[in-house]
Structure 1
Amino acid sequence: MKIASYNINGINGRLENLLRWLKEAAPDVVCLQELKCEDKNFPVSKINQAGYHAVWRGEKSWNGVAILSKNEIKELRRDLPGGDDEFTHSRYLEAFTSGVVIGCIYLPNGNPYPGPKFEYKKRWFSRLQEHAKALLATGLPVILAGDYNVMPTELDTYKPEKYRENALFQKEIRDDFAMLVDQGWTDAIRMLYPGKRIYTFWDYLRKAYDRDAGLRLDHFLLTADLAEKLTDAKVDKAVRGWKGSSDHAPVWIELSEKPARNKTSRSKRIGGKKIPVLTREIQNLLKQADETEMPIGIKPMKATLVDEPFDQPGWLYEVKWDGYRAIAYVEKSGAKLFSRNNLEFGQFTTITAALEALKLDAVFDGEIVALKEDGSADFGALQNWKNTQRAELIYYVFDILWFKGYSLLSITLNDRRKILEAVMPREHPEIRVSKAYHTSGLDFFEAAKKMKLEGIIAKRADSFYSSDSRSREWLKIKAKRRQEVVIGGYTRNEGTEKYFSALTLGVYGPKGNLHYIGKVGTGFNQQSQKELMAVFENLTTTICPFETEPDVDEPSQFRPRRMGAKPTWLKPDLVCEIEFAELTSDGKLRQASFKGLREDKSPNEVVFEYEKDTASITQEVSLQHQLAEQPHKPSAGSTRNRKGKKLKDKGLLLTGSSDTQDKIVDGHPLKFTHLSKLYWPEEQVSKRDMFNYYDQVAPLMLPYLLDRPMSLNRFPGGIHSASFYQKNVKETAPSWARTMPHTNEKGEEKSYLLGKDRATLLWMASLGCIEMNPWFSRASSPDYPDYCVIDLDPDKNTFEQVIQAAQVTRSILDSMGVPSFPKTSGSTGIHIYIPLGAKYTYEQSQLFANLIVRQVNRELPKFTTLEPTISRRGGKMYLDFLQNRPGATIAGVYSLRPKPGATVSMPLLWDEVKPGLKMRDFTIFNAVDRLSETGDLFSGVLGKGIDMAEVLSTAQHLFS
């Protein structure tokens, strides 16, 4: 294949020269620069008549680029990612043709130097470098060709001293070109002519062409696979001498169909190299890992399927390869490849031989891919490789799990990749490091779609390797909808001459039953059908493998008439992969196409893979990492675990019928007034009853009020009266009360009341505080709450659903090893407390609660929500995690509630949280008797507290 670059310098004025050259040189692909015509004036009809397809981007007077091809051509992009507001003279056009991605480049010279145009040129080069990385990551064959207006070395000019001050020859721009090449590109002309002066442009001086006063400004940069096929390169200098020709001449390279260099000798050279000398950085990374023997039986970490690409810091992106996932165990004595189910791949002998030749002790994770002639993946060829061995096999390695006695599972992906790139050869015919880049996920996905790749993988750069789990820190975004399915049989239509008309397909449901999801009737040829029938021969059965026998000849809107299809059932032992357009509302595949058998998958693992919401998943992962990264405060000594104590029987504080009484409590005088006033009129519960209740439960309640700022919710007229909140007690609190000064947003000095003793509790009650609302943290550590609270706040839910949500929350916390303590809210919901030991901030507490409630919502999506706005909840129960913030309060434990029934916020045993539980089981009438029996069930809330980092580390599977 012959690929050319030609700065035409005005296409319409030099069209005849161009057409003459196209006819004589007959290049397969041509990159043109400096069209100097608008899009509408591009001579497409003349180009077509010459036998070429074309894509172009014109400009009226300055620039413009085009790509011509004898074969069909598909435009991929019309500019580099990013933008620049200052200058727009540079041009980039990208297309796919003849199995190669072609990037056509024109970059002006940047003179005068120094100056703004040169700075622009450097910025443009930075954009090119970033995009070039993304192109390398696709694994596709790519050529970046055109007029770079850069002379990389002194060999690239006839007179170096003349160009010392020219923008074309400046060190910064030469360094940028060198950095681009160092990514893994091959400068085609310089590789073929390492010491020769090759010119593509000639100076404007008089008779410069005759004197060969030239420069090399046009370059071809090739990916390694194309560099293998490079056979020749020339400049058609004679065209420069044609009448009226451009000051540039066409330059071209020639690629053979197969690699031109001896692969066998090259493999020996690479394989025979010594184990690399590790830098100090890599040695230090290994020291962070655990020393272990080489592991066996590792199952790969899996990615979660999400519905759309995204851009977020902290993620890197890779190509989703269309092949077989394989764990490679490599020793100096040999190498073995195993599937995701630990079945050995014995057929891929070229890969195992290449791995063995590396002379490494390592375990790799990667994908075995079969490549077509055009460099794209061919899954069918991979499936049949054992029989045909026609395709080129590549093992794309994207992770290293063990190296020379060190397990790398517990160090970050970023660090694992540093080790991987340090120990693997940079170029190898069969073993390649799958590129990973910090780039735009949106742009990367668009490129993958245009290049007809299967999709992309997004990975958290700081993620650890979690064997045999489906992680939310690895996400896959598919450009094509693919699904693994179980083959349950095949059909033959009436009158067909084919071996079969379609395969009947299914996936397993949660109860282990095989559900029919439709048929696939395309993607086969006669030979592949014959080969499949040979496999089916020993699997035929009279028993339908599907849960319900399907009507395999059922008409549909896409095929309204019956075809006379008859089924032959098969034992559900085979898995295949299909591509499809959509899943219909009744759960059937539409426009399915067969891609090949999956011998690396067990049938009982095949379930339908639904796309998850990208935004929700990435936000959750971000929350997890924020929690893990934040330091925590040492545990406070005042939060020692307290043993639950019981109430002691004692007489009532206030007796008799007097409406006013004075008492000495904790040495302080208190006046109790309006004692006969009914605070709960329906229940005939008076203000006196409220005082007596709080006096009786004070021994259990005070530890949860001590040193905590209080938000006073006052109901001076009882539960049906107007109420108001009071936070400032600077002018009203008795002198013996403890307070915490604070300054409000207006700069005013205020004071919070602090919980202290029985006198303080009863003084609050005397203000009409029916319920007690303490902070989650104490005045001695106001930014560090003692506990995290999850508030199950129902709307149009039954209390049975509240109980169900509470038990799901408990189950999640139990599986994480996290203690939890439930209590009734005293209103409609349930509060669940998690001890923190005053070691974490409110932000960390809220993030942790957020993770938990997201998991609850995933398990109970029909009647729970994370929507804080009541009008948007749709009647669902709100899983409230936002209470975990400074200054927020909820009704404290043992608090009365200003609700009908005189209910109490009562601690519960988890065994009590079951159907039949009611909020009115715990009221002012029975609470003291209960507490005399149970004692304080809530003491663990003020205990040591969880180790959040350890919990998150050991519970990653829950968020997978």
Structure 2
Amino acid sequence: MKATLVDAPFDEPGWVYEIKWDGYRAMAYLNVDQTSLYSRNHLEFNQFTEINEALSALRLNAILDGEVVALKDDGGADFGALQNWKNTRRAQLHFYIFDMVWLEGRSLLSLSLIERRKLLEAVLPKDHPVIKVSQAFYTSGIDFFDAAKRMKLEGIIAKRADSFYSSDSRSRDWLKIKAKRRQEVVIGGYTRNEGTEKFFSALALGVYDKSGTLVYIGKVGTGFNQSIQKELMAEFEELITESCPFGIKPDVDEPSQFRPQRLGAKPTWLKPTLICEIEFAELTSDGKVRQASFKGLRKDKNPKEVVLELETRAGKLVNEVELEYDLQAPILPVSIDGPKKPKGRKAILAKNPLLTGQAETQEKNIDGHLLKFTHLSKLYWPEDGVSKRDMFNYYDSVAPLMLPYLLDRPMSLNRFPGGIHSQSFYQKNVKETAPDWALTMPHTNDKGEEKSYLLGHDRATLLWMASLGCIEINPWFSRSSSPDHPDYCVIDLDPDKNSFDQVIQAAQVTRNILEDIGVPSYPKTSGSTGIHIYIPLGAAYSYEQSQLFANLIVRQVNRELPKFTTLERSISKRGGKMYLDFLQNRPGATIAGVYSLRPKPGATVSMPLLWEEVKPGLKMRDFTIFNAIDRLKETGDLFSGVLGQGIDMHGVIASAQHRFA
């Protein structure tokens, strides 16, 4: 299935987005006896032995569609290294898989993209060093494209979430938007300028028109060093011909407004069997590429398929596609099976981002206070292209829903000044650093020193914390007005060597136990590896009472799931089991707050859930900076009950004693 090139990104419901990888498109044919990897033109890739071995180890019968990519140490794609992989192996090889069309004897062509991806994610391993699921992003196409440009990626792919796989067609359900202008071209010859000592000066390039004629579109004279030229000359030797392969013999030494003098270039014609990829600035009015740069040979395609790719207007094409579909609300990754749309407390979320443009420093008046935001393009989540600017815009957008859970609560500042891979540190005392308008709670430490906790208060306070590099927001369970009495009790399901489906199973067992004794509970993803379950207390009980109650519940969970859960706090003694953490319920302890971003790859969010959503197939990366705001516009705040009327703990414990007898 091929994508249609369009001229611009767009925001429309019903579309999901993926990275456009700069590599070789490949179909993998897996069975338990043999694995083969083929190009789109059905040429076998036999040089990528690491991928074949990794796929064979999966022991699947399947057909997978993806992209073979060589990555440099900085995470950027190295197409040249991929081209010469058999000889150099100078980069990290990955197979990014974005679709599956056959599985265990069953064709998947009748399933939608979302259904196929669910199956794909279920059968492929997590965190494999070679085999990767190419992530789908449920987000703004325009924002995602901007992120791709900042990361210097080739571009993005937009896909209709409810589309079917149509083999060998240039589909309008898959659209590609390039951040850089690229074109596959046929090499029709090479030139040497007078007096040059190089193997050649430039390559003469062409594409085929509708009649099958090779049309000259200019030359490329940059992008290859002496070593690459030598390798190309070895390819050229057997292809030299007296006949010009172009329909009309071109003047390869033709002057232009950019190079008005002739250089004495002489052509050597080649049989048109080699394809290369170029990057270029623009096409001139007479159809020639300008400022072209050589990116590498492509041996995965048929030269006769190489045509000039012209951009279609995105708006026109998307409108046409939408006429063919009954558009629904934006598809969310956790509601594919069609449960009732969750609803909660509504709040007006920001329509426009707080920080726009490309300036590295901006000042904004927030709640009557002037805040300075610096180093805005710095990538805090480099693998995902998420910058400080994106983080500030997220917290500004989510503030109306988040602030009730921060109000009057002491904050533990977990600072990552250089992003998620930088050295982090906790700061609890802001006595000397907080702005004079910030609210604080004084306290005396064990050494008798006077300190001050920052109190959550308003949007300015939240954004000031973010400006310190507080990627995640960590509020106390209690407020400064009742510091010894938490508003809620928390059970933290902390997996070790467990699958996330086991976390989900433990969460549902916890829910059933609590329901049996009449206790409401509210789940959220941790944004890291586990699930947090909150129980409202209404600040009516002490931390000690809260911890004893949590202990009572998790002991029963452990009795029902002894094979993979434990109450052992020491990691070394857990034996790989999931820790049922009840000890978080103590003064001064914090966990990532609701709607908090996490310093984890994927820019995940700690997201409230309906219990109906806590089921197999749920993933931590279902909720990220890219899709959280869109979800919250649909769901509202599902967590408001946490701050509501607390339970009658004494009555509940009496009921529990009967239940657990």
TM-score, scaled relative to structure 2: 0.49
Q: Whose RCO is larger (CA < 8 A, sep 6+)? A: 2
Computing the radius of gyration from Cα coordinates, the structure with the larger value is 1
TM-score, scaled relative to structure 1: 0.34
